Chain A
Amino acid sequence: MINIRDKGAEIWENWNRPTRVIFVLSTITIIALLPFAAAWGPTSFLDTPITSFKNVLVYPVGMFVLMALGLNIVVGKSGLLDLGYVAFFAIGAYSQAILSTSFGWSTWEALPVGIGLAMVSGVLLGLPALRLRGDYLAIITLGFGEIVRIVILNSRKVTGGPDGIAGIKNPPAIFGLEFDLFHPEHFFWLVGVMVLLVIWMVRRFTVRRPGRAWEAIRQDEDVASLMGVNTLVYKLWSFVIGAAVGGAGGVLYASKVMVISPDMFKFEVSVLILACVVFGGIGNIWGVVLGASLLAYIPDRIRFISDARQVIFGLVLIIMMNLRPDGLLPRKKREKISEKRKK
């Protein structure tokens, strides 16, 4: 099967700067216009039954892309299997919910707090858990995800227990863009900006020391420490940065849906986000974006077949993973090597 990823990289490398700028800007424009695609004739096939297309683009699509990118830092870059990623999402969402309903904080004020709390919990989980490897780490993170949900479920006074928290305020307007029920496209753009920020951040890390350290840890942790890589610290960093993205996603999510409850943060969500990463192409940003978009969108697109849709969805996953075991757009096997050959 042809390698679309390498083909794309080749085309990109042969472009000069203006071409690249035009390509990036037009891609961003097209994606920004996506919310209106359902109402425009030629692209109306994209429309989703039951839930409105604009809302589907925000959640699950935009949110899943954001979260998958965050989890990709942990699973894809440094090779740590995290099965409890939803915990950070939940911590972000509940931070926003509590700060908004009890203290009247706006989303922009709650955002740094939500990110901060997610990062702190990332450290608290990571410090003991990251001393373990492979399966053990996966089990511990799985446990952490469940613990966070169960604590939320049982802390009735703070979190409302199983009833959750209602009446979370939408974010205040920025640049005249209202964030409310009638403008889901504004939320979509907001998530889009966050996704761009995360992509930018990940790309910067990848070519610098942390990226090298993560790559080394992923390939051989013992040898990495022989090279002088403080493996625990770098693993912790990837964990905490991943947690920050999850927390940010949670804050946005809570302020969009306005009502949250513990059953939104089940283990299945962790698995689905992980599936997005693996399906798209573990370790490759563009693969992850594509994978998350499809996996989030398809179930809503085929909602008209009601009960059968989960079966179809599962079948699509199984067939795809058989055809492309490394994901839709796998990571380059040897990063940067083609460039060096040319010199």
Chain B
Amino acid sequence: MRLEIKDLSVHYGKIEAIKGISIVVNQGEIVTLIGANGAGKTTTLKTISGLRKVSRGAILFDGQDISKVPAYERVDLGISQAPEGRGIFPGMSVLENLEMGKFNRKDRRSEMKEDLNRVYDLFPRLKERSGQAGGTLSGGEQQMLAIGRALMARPKVLLLDEPSMGLAPMMIANIFQIITTINTELGTTILLVEQNAQQALQRAHRAYVLETGKIVKEAKASDLLNDPEVRAAYLGTGAGTGH
């Protein structure tokens, strides 16, 4: 698995939101894309998963340009996204949400139990709540559900859009712990978009810094944690969870 974004530009009408960025995600890595509000992080992820159109450049997945492949087929290729703002189906139960994650898998029936168990092992809370409507879960649980649902499709690469957004500090630590677990134990490659730079840089192998649609820095995550510019701009004085 190798995801390569080459000179990608994305427009909203006439406004160029993403201005020719290049990102590489290798097999087994956690790569994080950090940046402030409006930098274009979510747009980048949406473009990779197919919700936004590419206006220039290419998205290469295992060497093949997938920028013309519709969103619903990219799931089958092995790209799953846990959407921003815990985009779950509020009117469906937890179990139904998880089942939706396997909507297109031909082997749905035979694999369902196995995949459900894997997700429930990662998120025991979801098992307890399997009959409850998604919309009635707490913020953290909804985030777990969004990640769990994305895992149901057995993705090669998992796209996470601000999993820490709006969560309590305890829950943030919990979610990031699970992200590491998914990476090490399931071997899933992860592209993580975050505003919480502190946590993201601690968990990731490599990182990109996005500013108003451009990549301004690219380095090993541990190096960025000690980078004075990054510390000043994204980590405050350096302590705590970043925000």
Contact = CB atoms under 8 A, between A and B. Distances in A.
Interface of A: 209, 212-213, 215-216, 219-220, 222-231, 333-337, 340-341
Interface string B88-116: 11111101100111011000000000000
Contacts of A341: 131
B163 interface: no
A192 B58 CA distance: 56
A230 B89 contact: no
B235 interface: no
A223 B75 CA distance: 12
Contacts of B75: 226-228
B152 to A, nearest CB: 9
B21 interface: no
A225 B50 contact: yes
Contact of A219 (B81, B91, B103, B132): B91
Contacts of A340: 93, 95, 130-131
Contact of B93 (A209, A224, A225, A337): A337
Contacts of B104: 227-229
| A interface secondary structure, majority | helix
Interface of B: 49-51, 70-73, 75-76, 80-81, 83, 87-93, 95-96, 99-101, 103-104, 130-133, 149, 153
Given A222-B51, A222-B87, A334 B76 contact: no
Given A222-B51, A227-B103, A228-B75, A215 B87 contact: no
Given A220-B87, A227-B149, A228-B104, 12 more contacts: A213-B103, A215-B91, A223-B88, A225-B50, A225-B71, A226-B81, A228-B73, A231-B72, A334-B92, A335-B91, A340-B93, A340-B131
A231 B70 CA distance: 10
B102 to A, nearest CB: 8
B119 to A, nearest CB: 14
Contact of A333 (B73, B76, B133, B153): B133
A182 to B, nearest CB: 49
Nearest to B89: A219
A226 B42 CA distance: 14
Nearest to A209: B103
Contact of B91 (A223, A228, A334): A334
A224 B131 CA distance: 20
Contacts of A334: 91-93, 133
Interface centre among B76, B96, B101, B130 (most CB of A within 10 A): B96
Given A213-B103, A226-B83, A228-B153, A220 B89 contact: yes
28 contacts: A212-B96, A212-B99, A215-B89, A216-B89, A216-B92, A216-B103, A222-B87, A225-B50, A225-B51, A225-B71, A225-B72, A226-B75, A226-B83, A226-B87, A227-B75, A227-B103, A228-B72, A228-B73, A228-B75, A228-B104, A229-B104, A230-B70, A333-B133, A334-B133, A335-B91, A335-B92, A340-B93, A340-B130
B91 A226 contact: no
A216 B131 CA distance: 17
Nearest to A223: B87
A227 B93 CA distance: 16
A270 B87 CA distance: 33
A115 to B, nearest CB: 29
Contact of A336 (B73, B93, B101): B93
A218 to B, nearest CB: 8
A73 to B, nearest CB: 18
A231 B153 CA distance: 18
A337 B133 contact: yes
Nearest to B108: A209
B89 A223 contact: yes
A154 to B, nearest CB: 38
Interface centre among A215, A228, A333 (most CB of B within 10 A): A228
A219 B90 CA distance: 7
Contacts of A227: 72, 75, 100-101, 103-104, 149, 153
Contacts of B92: 215-216, 219, 334-335
Smallest CB-CB A-B distances: 4 pairs: A228-B104, A228-B75, A334-B133, A340-B131
A222 B71 CA distance: 9
Nearest to B100: A227
A219 B76 CA distance: 22
A226 B89 contact: no
Contacts of A335: 91-92
Contacts of A225: 50-51, 70-72
A229 B50 CA distance: 12
Nearest to A212: B100
Contacts of B70: 225, 230
Contacts of A219: 89-92
Nearest to B146: A223
